[in-house]
Structures are given as C-alpha cells and as structure tokens.
C-alpha cells in the first residue's frame, strides 16, 4: 500500500508544538539514550551528517486541561512497524506537529528513493489515534547547528528548526538562548540550514505491516 497524495510542498509551517515524548530512544556513540536523559553537548547519530552535538534542548509541557481545550496538543502514538520494518521498533509518542521522514516507496507520485518529511498528525490512520495523556505530557525539542534527521525508536524524525513560525511556540527564554547560540543568523533565522528533504502534508495512510 502507498500513502495517497494531497500535497503541499516546500516551506510548510508546523502547526502546533513539535517534539518527542519521554521514553523515545535516540542513537548515540554510547548506545541508545532516552530523550529525557540527553544533555546539551551530547553527540547524536544523524542520518546524513554522522555525529552531531546537541546545541540546545527545550521542553514544553501541556496539561490535561490544555489538551481538553485544544486536542491538537495531544501526542500521537506510532505503533511498531507503522511506517515500515523496524520503523518504529517500539511504540513512539510524538507531538502532532513532529515531522517524520517517510520513505518514497510509501508515498504516491514519488520516486522510491525520495523520502519526505510529513507532520505526524497529517498522516491519517498512522496510529491508533490521539494519545490523550492522563495528566500532562512534555515534548522534547532538540536543536543542532543545522536541521538534522535522526532516529527515535528506529524511526527517522526531524530536529527542531527555528523559524519565525516555530519560534512563536517557544518561550521567551528559549528564544533568547537560540539567538545567543546562533548570533550570526538573522532574527528570523532565515539563514538556518534547513533539511534537504521535500516536505509534504495531509496524506492518507493505510497500514500494510502486521
């Protein structure tokens, strides 16, 4: 089965928070490490650029009341093999705005070797549905020197990309930290290196992996 088309390409804004939930395992030189134990300066294995140091980690916690008022803030649960073999290896919880790297052979009207970034909430039927937290949920956003793709529970995902749009969700102290870390970039981060992958949204999905 392929993911059906309903495409909007290039410069797609992420609506709502991005990030990984507690328990997501990332690849490091020392083996798998849960995202909540990652620290600034730690090295993470990236898909295209080898080991890259973490420049900043910022978190956003949303309460049950906030999710009740705005269901788009709830995490999405990705079941094992939701995208493909070993992708993810174990259940992965992410925000609806977190972009996932989906291989081209799962997408209609794409070459097999053309992987695309798609927000989790825009892949209909990807999981068992919205995973409403009992009390609250914290999203972890990892920032590198450039936008990177790395694996969380074996599934390629995108790091946080500071842009005028995404910074609206970041607290003032996080914005100040980002401007301090990337002092050479403009105030809107227009020069921040972006992913080399095509961006898509609003795609339908039919599971094909048992």
Q: For 119-172, write each residue's pLDDT tens digit.
A: 988 775 554 445 555 678 999 999 999 999 999 999 999 999 888 778 877 888
85 pLDDT exceeds 60?
yes
Q: Are 149 and 71 in contact (CB under 8 A)?
A: no
* pLDDT greater than 50 at residue 2: no
In this prediction, residue 7 carries a pLDDT of: 31
What's the pTM value of the predicted model, to 2 decimals?
A: 0.84
User: Which residue has better confidence, 11 or 196?
Assistant: 196
The alpha-carbon radius of gyration of the chain (Å, integer) is 16
More confident residue, 142 or 114: 142
* Cα–Cα distance, 92 to 101 (Å, whole number): 14
Q: Which of 71, 34, 58, 40 is nearest to 139 (CA)?
A: 58
Percent of the chain clearing pLDDT 70 (strictly above): 82
When mean pLDDT is compared over 43-47, 80-84, 205-209, the highest value belongs to: 43-47
5: confidence class by pLDDT, cuts 50, 70, 90: very low
Mean pLDDT of the chain: 82
Q: Which residue has the higher pLDDT, 208 or 60?
A: 60
Task: For residues 98-102, give the mean pLDDT.
Answer: 93
> Of 42-56, 149-163, 167-181, where does mean pLDDT reach its minimum?
167-181
Tokens of 118: 């798609």
Confidence of residue 194 (pLDDT cuts 50, 70, 90): confident
Residue 11, CB-side half-sphere exposure with 13 Å CA sphere? 2
DSSP state of 88: T
């Amino acid at each position: 089965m392929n993911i059906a088309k309903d495409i909007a390409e290039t410069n797609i804004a992420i609506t709502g928070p991005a990030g990984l939930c507690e328990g997501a395992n990332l690849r490091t030189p020392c083996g798998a490490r849960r995202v909540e134990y990652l620290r600034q300066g730690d090295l993470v294995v990236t898909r295209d650029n080898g080991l890259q140091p973490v420049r900043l980690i910022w978190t956003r916690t949303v309460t049950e009341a906030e999710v009740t008022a705005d269901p788009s803030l709830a995490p999405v649960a990705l079941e094992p093999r939701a995208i493909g073999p070993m992708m993810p290896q174990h259940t992965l919880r992410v925000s609806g705005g977190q972009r996932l790297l989906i291989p081209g052979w799962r997408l209609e009207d794409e070459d097999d070797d053309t992987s695309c970034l798609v927000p989790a909430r825009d892949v209909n039927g990807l999981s068992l549905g919205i995973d409403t937290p009992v009390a609250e949920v914290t999203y972890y956003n990892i920032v590198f020197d450039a936008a990177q793709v790395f694996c969380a529970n074996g599934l390629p995902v995108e790091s946080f990309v500071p842009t005028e749009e995404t910074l609206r969700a970041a607290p003032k102290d996080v914005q100040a930290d980002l401007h301090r870390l990337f002092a050479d970039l403009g105030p809107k981060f227009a020069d921040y290196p972006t992913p080399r992958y095509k961006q898509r949204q609003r795609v339908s999905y039919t599971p094909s992996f048992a």
